[in-house]
Chains A and B, each alone.
Chain A
Amino acid sequence: MAGTSYKGSEIKSVDQFIKDKAGLDSAREKEIGQHIGYRYDVNLLPDYSRLTPFLKGYLEYMGWDDLNWLEDVHMGYEEGEPAIFDRNVNGWVRIPKNVKLPNNQQDRDMVARELLIKFQMSPNHPMVQLNKAYRKF
């Protein structure tokens, strides 16, 4: 029966999916030609000692005691490039090339959170156009 046993591979290094964009490791992944699972640990809990000043300002503005929804935001990897998944556009947003990547996932996640907020709150976000075109009330 399909999907009755997990045949994916473990994430071994923070740069694994930058160096190997296909990310095929296990026999099953090689057989189907597709990486199984996320390219980052969705269950990684944030290290609050690494909050950036921008994120601290955002939390204060919103009146939250912690990262709230941003606890679920992580830096991912798309076709060998670091990227953030933006749920508002349902797509990957690639990290600009001039942003220096930290050497650990916790700091990368903080960078991803900050960039995602800046992107979503920008007047150039695609949702602003969609809102203008389709808003009914």
Chain B
Amino acid sequence: MAGVVTAKKEHLSHDMGMHTEGLRGRTQQRFFDITETDVGYGYPDAPDVDFNKRAEIDCEGLETRQINNQLRDLIKRGVGTIVLKNPGSKHSIAVGILNRLNLYIEGSCGYFACGLLDGPNVRIKGRVGWACGENMLAGTILIEKNAGSQFGAAIRGGDLVCRGSVGARTGIDQKGGTIIVGGDTGSFSGFMMQRGRMVICGNAGKNLGDSMYDGTIYLGGEARSLGVDAIPAEMNDGDRQWLTRKLKMYDLYPKGGIGHFKKIVAGKQLWNYDNLEPGEKKLVL
């Protein structure tokens, strides 16, 4: 095929013996001893940053790649608190940061802001476009105003919070973590949710939790409709404690308390572990 470059056999991975493992059945390998003492709190190759070291980046006139490269350079130099000024709604800002960091974005961001984050605490003063926090792994993102659709798409972990309202398909394919919406959310929020928690303080559009597999949705207002296999469940003390703590963390705790919140979970009627029912097997055979 034109344009495809074949990988060279002398690739480093071959030298490291990474292609010698048998690929049949399950394998077990011992990588790690629990008594290891040289283990820190950060990834082995993550720069050690100091929250007290602060720097600013003026994004005016810079391309997205230049902004992200400057961010990485500052992190490598041990800067733990960074302020982005004049972000100008540029797309894909502050993505793929895998360390601890305090990041303040003073303005609005475009599409895919802060995707693939694993650790940082981000505060965004303005609005964000589509898919903010997409595939986020860990950390916190707090947006002061509104967010576009697909907010937190495929999020795996961490807290993604929008004080305002968000568009449709919030948390589509959510695989973990917590999404909090201070206002309303659009249709198909929680679509194909697999685990994690979604808190909507306002109302939700049509088909909330459609085809959700697992996870929990807490809804403060009303949903125009519930999606397929999304069903109401009873709030317990654990839910109330968790919800109270989390909403207070982000100053979103309602004045009247959380007594009006409803819990929505998967009905588990769509769980499909066997490929086909016996009747259908006969048809196929």
Point out residues on A near B: beta carbons under 8 Å.
1-6, 8, 31-32, 34, 36-38, 42-43, 45, 48, 57-58, 61-66, 68-72, 87, 94, 96, 98-99, 115, 117-126, 128-134
User: Which chain A residues border B241 with CB–CB below 8 Å?
Assistant: 45
CB distance from A6 to the nearest CB of B (A): 4
Interface residues of B in 41-57 (CB under 8 A from A): 41-45, 51
Tell me if A37 and B271 are in contact (CB < 8 A): yes
Would you call B40 an interface residue if the criterion is a C-beta within 8 Å of the partner chain's C-beta atoms? yes
CB distance from B34 to the nearest CB of A (A): 5
CB distance from B230 to the nearest CB of A (A): 14
Given A69-B138, A99-B34; A125-B44 close (CB under 8 Å): yes
User: Which chain B residues border A96 with CB–CB below 8 Å?
Assistant: 34
Tell me if A124 and B43 are in contact (CB < 8 A): no
- Of the candidates B12, B42, B51, B239, which one forms a contact with A121 in the assembled complex, judged by CB atoms under 8 Å apart? B42
* Total CB contacts across the A-B interface at under 8 A: 142
User: Which chain B residues border A129 with CB–CB below 8 Å?
Assistant: 16, 18
Tell me if A133 and B12 are in contact (CB < 8 A): yes
Tell me if A43 and B265 are in contact (CB < 8 A): yes
Tell me if B36 and A122 are in contact (CB < 8 A): yes
User: Which chain B residues border A66 with CB–CB below 8 Å?
Assistant: 245-246, 249
Q: Give complex CA distance A78, B58 in Å.
A: 50
Would you call B260 an interface residue if the criterion is a C-beta within 8 Å of the partner chain's C-beta atoms? no
Q: How many residues of B are counted as interface, with CB atoms below 8 angstroms from the partner's CB atoms?
A: 62
- Of the candidates A1, A61, A68, which one forms a contact with B158 in the assembled complex, judged by CB atoms under 8 Å apart? A68
- Of the candidates A4, A57, A71, A119, which one forms a contact with B41 in the assembled complex, judged by CB atoms under 8 Å apart? A57
- Of the candidates B34, B216, B238, B267, which one forms a contact with A118 in the assembled complex, judged by CB atoms under 8 Å apart? B34
User: Which chain A residues border B31 with CB–CB below 8 Å?
Assistant: 119, 122, 124-126
Tell me if A72 and B12 are in contact (CB < 8 A): no
Tell me if B12 and A132 are in contact (CB < 8 A): yes
Tell me if A133 and B32 are in contact (CB < 8 A): no
Tell me if A45 and B238 are in contact (CB < 8 A): yes
Would you call B159 an interface residue if the criterion is a C-beta within 8 Å of the partner chain's C-beta atoms? yes
Given A45-B239, A45-B242, A124-B31; A134-B13 close (CB under 8 Å): yes
Query: Which 7 A/B pairs are nearest by Cβ-Cβ distance?
Result: A3-B272, A69-B157, A69-B138, A6-B268, A133-B13, A72-B176, A61-B41
Q: C-beta contact mask, B173-198 vs A, less than 8 Å → 1, else 0?
A: 00011100000000000000001110
- Of the candidates B41, B195, B214, B276, which one forms a contact with A58 in the assembled complex, judged by CB atoms under 8 Å apart? B41
User: Which chain B residues border A70 with CB–CB below 8 Å?
Assistant: 157
Would you call B4 an interface residue if the criterion is a C-beta within 8 Å of the partner chain's C-beta atoms? no
8 contacts between A and B (CB under 8 A): A3-B270, A34-B274, A37-B268, A43-B215, A65-B249, A121-B42, A121-B44, A131-B45
User: Which chain A residues border B246 with CB–CB below 8 Å?
Assistant: 66
CB distance from A20 to the nearest CB of B (A): 17
Shortest Cβ distance from A71 into B: residue: B178
Tell me if B121 and A63 are in contact (CB < 8 A): yes
CB distance from A26 to the nearest CB of B (A): 11
CB distance from B60 to the nearest CB of A (A): 25
- Of the candidates A3, A4, A37, A64, which one forms a contact with B140 in the assembled complex, judged by CB atoms under 8 Å apart? A64
Q: Give complex CA distance A4, B280 in Å.
A: 13
